[in-house]
């Protein structure tokens, strides 16, 4: 059992006071390891809240540097951070909020080659990537390794998120199957996004991570939570594991990790405008 310091008791008092979290839950948080994929719109608010919550080890991976167009929504990055690596910028803020935790930074693109090595050992993965090849790769790797994760996506005024417990609940491929053709995909850069949406979604993902670690409540599994901020209508669409899922179904056709077409690793040498 951890012997909390006076400072920790005060810092985490609002968690300890919660019947369902309590001393045990805070201890679990301090011992937990969460990986955040992408230090952008979703990853930033998630990183700040997970750091504040006292998640003991937080990994954060992103190869980009901060640009002025990021600041409208990527809330851990400040004007002074322009041209600084996103993971360094995020880590600085996380440690400023909570020096109690360990932040591991990875200035890298996730690809089939490196993903297993990076995500192995984490208890939970929070997907905040901007692109579908990586989203599918995160899904596949987490399913192969049995690591629970939160999927999140935002576009314009909309957001969606689901939590996946591999082998038990619907995975991202159960419902979305394969990445959409690259030319059909509107990115945030092309489509735009209301900045606060990123905070709404990223903090939902962070709450799921905290719930998973502490065992509180019911996770957002077998359901896709979607919202439209124009009407503030929230919907939970029921999903289920599909027997025909190429990854977690009865006869899986995906048996190893591969990079989808126009992988992020290729983007490294052929950068697209951010």
Binding residues (CB under 8 A) for other proteins: these are 1, 4, 9-10, 13, 16-17, 19, 22-24, 38-43, 62, 64, 74, 86, 127-132, 135, 152-155, 158-160, 174-177, 180-181, 184-189, 193, 198, 201, 224, 226, 235, 237-240, 242, 244-245, 274
Q: Give the nearer residue to Zn ion in terms of CB position, either 14 or 240.
A: 240
Sole window of 111-119, 171-179, 193-201, 253-261 interacting with Zn ion (rule: CB under 5 A): 171-179
Q: Are the CB atoms for 128 and 202 separated by under 8 Å?
A: yes
DSSP character string of 216-238:
-S--S-SEEEEEETTTTEEEEEE
Q: Give the nearer residue to Zn ion in terms of CB position, either 32 or 245.
A: 245
Q: Which of other proteins, Zn ion, none is residue 248 near (CB under 5 to 8 Å by kind)?
A: Zn ion
Q: Give the nearer residue to Zn ion in terms of CB position, either 32 or 119.
A: 119
Please report how close the Cβ of residue 177 comes to other proteins at its closest, in angstroms: 6
Q: Give the nearer residue to other proteins in terms of CB position, either 51 or 154.
A: 154
CA of 171: how far to CAs of 12, 34, 71, 90, 146, in Å?
33, 19, 32, 28, 11
Order of strands across the sheet that contains 223-228: 102-106, 57-61, 33-37, 124-127, 149-155, 158-164, 223-228, 233-238
Q: What distance lies between CA 256 and its chain's CA centroid?
A: 22
Tokens of 151: 């999927």
Tokens of 190: 């092309």
184: phi then psi, degrees, rounded to nearest 5:
-90, -10
Q: Give the nearer residue to Zn ion in terms of CB position, either 90 or 245.
A: 245
Q: Which of Zn ion, other proteins, none is residue 9 near (CB under 5 to 8 Å by kind)?
A: other proteins
Single residue of 125, 171, 204, 264 touching Zn ion by CB under 5 A: 171
Binding letters toward Zn ion, positions 238-257, x by CB under 5 A: -------x-xx---------
- ∠ Cα 227 228 230 (to 5°): 150
Sites of contact with Zn ion (CB under 5 A): 171, 173-174, 245, 247-248
């Amino acid at each position: 059992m951890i012997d909390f310091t006076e400072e920790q008791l005060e810092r985490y008092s609002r968690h300890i006071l919660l019947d369902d979290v309590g001393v045990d839950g805070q201890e679990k948080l301090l011992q937990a390891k969460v990986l955040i994929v992408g230090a952008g719109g979703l990853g930033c608010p998630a990183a700040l809240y997970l750091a504040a919550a006292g998640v003991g080890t937080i990994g954060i991976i992103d190869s980009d540097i901060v640009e002025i167009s990021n600041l409208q929504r990527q809330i851990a990055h400040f004007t002074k951070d322009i041209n600084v690596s996103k993971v360094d910028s995020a880590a600085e803020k996380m440690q400023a909020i909570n020096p109690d935790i360990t932040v591991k930074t990875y200035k890298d693109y996730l690809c089939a080659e490196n993903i297993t090595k990076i995500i192995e050992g984490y208890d939970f993965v929070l997907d905040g990537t901007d692109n579908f090849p990586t989203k599918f790769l995160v899904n596949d790797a987490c399913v192969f390794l049995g690591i629970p994760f939160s999927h999140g996506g935002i576009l314009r005024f909309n957001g969606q998120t689901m939590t996946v417990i591999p082998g038990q609940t619907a995975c991202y491929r159960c419902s979305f199957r394969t990445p959409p053709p690259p030319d059909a995909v509107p990115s945030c850069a092309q489509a735009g996004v209301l900045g606060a949406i990123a905070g709404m979604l990223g903090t939902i993902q962070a709450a799921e991570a905290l719930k998973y670690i502490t065992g509180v409540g019911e996770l957002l599994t077998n359901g896709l939570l979607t919202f439209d901020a124009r009407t503030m209508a929230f919907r939970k669409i029921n999903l289920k594991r599909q027997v025909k899922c190429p990854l977690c179904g009865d006869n899986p056709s995906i048996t190893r990790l591969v990079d989808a077409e126009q992988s992020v690793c290729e983007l490294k040498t052929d950068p697209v405008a951010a």
